DNA sequence: CGAGACCATCGCG
DNA sequence: CGCGATGGTCTCG
């Protein structure tokens, strides 16, 4: 029964050629890190729960992020606001978001990590890596991570994935990265 | 106030 | 397909 868990390079190539939505770059080492389920993290595909999100400057000034026990910075709110613009059933990438606020993808990831407003109104599960890979969730990346829940949430919204954790279609049936951010109201 | 650490990435070799 | 480079932010002393 025991089979190799790593994915043969050929399969990866096939995946890239036929389905890779964004770049046709070769899959990276992270692909070999599947599966993504973690026994210690309960399954959760809820995409409806609505957290209270401080909108006004005053409210934001006093809000304490329960995840960090700290206030959120201006930049963090900016990124969260941006993320909140992603329509249901669509996804965007860390890079797109970074471009939108003149930041870097890693900084975006950093904010997603501490996002206390998941899954609403800040649907951080709709942010994937630039090549369509599901990426990280819940503070972890790839395998050790808990992509299962991120994936479950997206599937519930109508997105499709292949066996390796790459998105192949959003709700519309195609895959196109959402990048139409309105940065004017940040 | 400054330096160092961190990262749910990227893209090149 | 692996690995190092890189940018920006956060944290702590």
| Element (DSSP H or E) covering residue A149 | helix A147-156
> Which bases of strand C sit closer than 7 A to a protein CB?
1-3, 6-11
How many angstroms separate the CA atoms of A136 and A152, rounded? Answer: 13
Alpha-carbon torsion (A92, A93, A96, A99), positive or negative: positive
Residue A99 gets which letter from DSSP? Answer: H
Average pLDDT, chain A: 79
The pLDDT value recorded for residue A34 is 44
- The upper half-sphere exposure of residue A96, i.e. CA atoms within 13 Å in the direction of its Cβ, equals 22
Whole-structure pTM value: 0.83
A64 exposed, middle or buried (CB, 10 Å; 0-12, 13-18, 19+)? exposed
Q: Which residue ranges have CB below 7 A from strand C?
A: A 8-9, 12-13, 25-29, 32, 68, 70, 73, 75-76, 102-104, 106-107, 110-111
Q: Which residue is nearest to nucleotide C10 (CA to C1')?
A: A110
Of A75-84, A120-129, A131-140, A176-185, where does mean pLDDT reach its minimum? A131-140
Given A83, A118, A124, A159, the catalytic residue: A124
| Element (DSSP H or E) covering residue A93 | strand A92-93
Per-residue pLDDT, averaged over A141-151, amounts to 75
Specify the higher pLDDT residue, A31 or A49: A49
Residue-by-residue DSSP string for A109-138: HHHHHT-SSTTBTS-GGGEE-TTSB--EET
Domains for chain A: give ranges and CATH numbers. 32-176 (1.10.10.10)
Region at A105 (left for phi over 0; alpha for psi -120 to 50; beta for the rest): alpha
> Is A159 one of the catalytic residues?
no
Nearest CA among A106, A133, A112 for reference residue A16: A133
């Amino acid at each position: 029964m025991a089979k190799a868990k790593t994915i043969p390079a050929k399969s990866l190539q096939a995946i890239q050629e036929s389905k890779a939505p964004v770049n046709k770059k070769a899959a990276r080492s992270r692909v070999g890190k599947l599966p993504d389920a973690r026994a210690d993290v309960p399954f959760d595909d809820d995409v409806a729960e609505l957290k209270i999100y401080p909108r006004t400057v005053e409210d934001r000034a006093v809000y304490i992020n329960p995840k960090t026990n700290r206030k959120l910075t201006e930049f963090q709110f900016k990124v969260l606001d941006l993320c909140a613009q992603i329509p249901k059933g669509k996804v965007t990438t860390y890079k797109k978001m970074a471009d939108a606020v003149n930041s870097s993808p890693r900084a975006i990831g950093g904010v997603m990590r501490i996002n206390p407003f998941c899954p609403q109104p800040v649907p951080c599960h709709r942010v994937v890596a630039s090549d369509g890979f599901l990426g990280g969730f819940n503070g972890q990346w790839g395998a050790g991570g808990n992509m299962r829940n991120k994936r479950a949430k997206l599937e519930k919204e109508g997105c499709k994935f292949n066996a390796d954790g790459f998105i192949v279609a959003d709700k519309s049936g195609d895959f196109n990265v959402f990048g139409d951010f309105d940065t004017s109201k940040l």
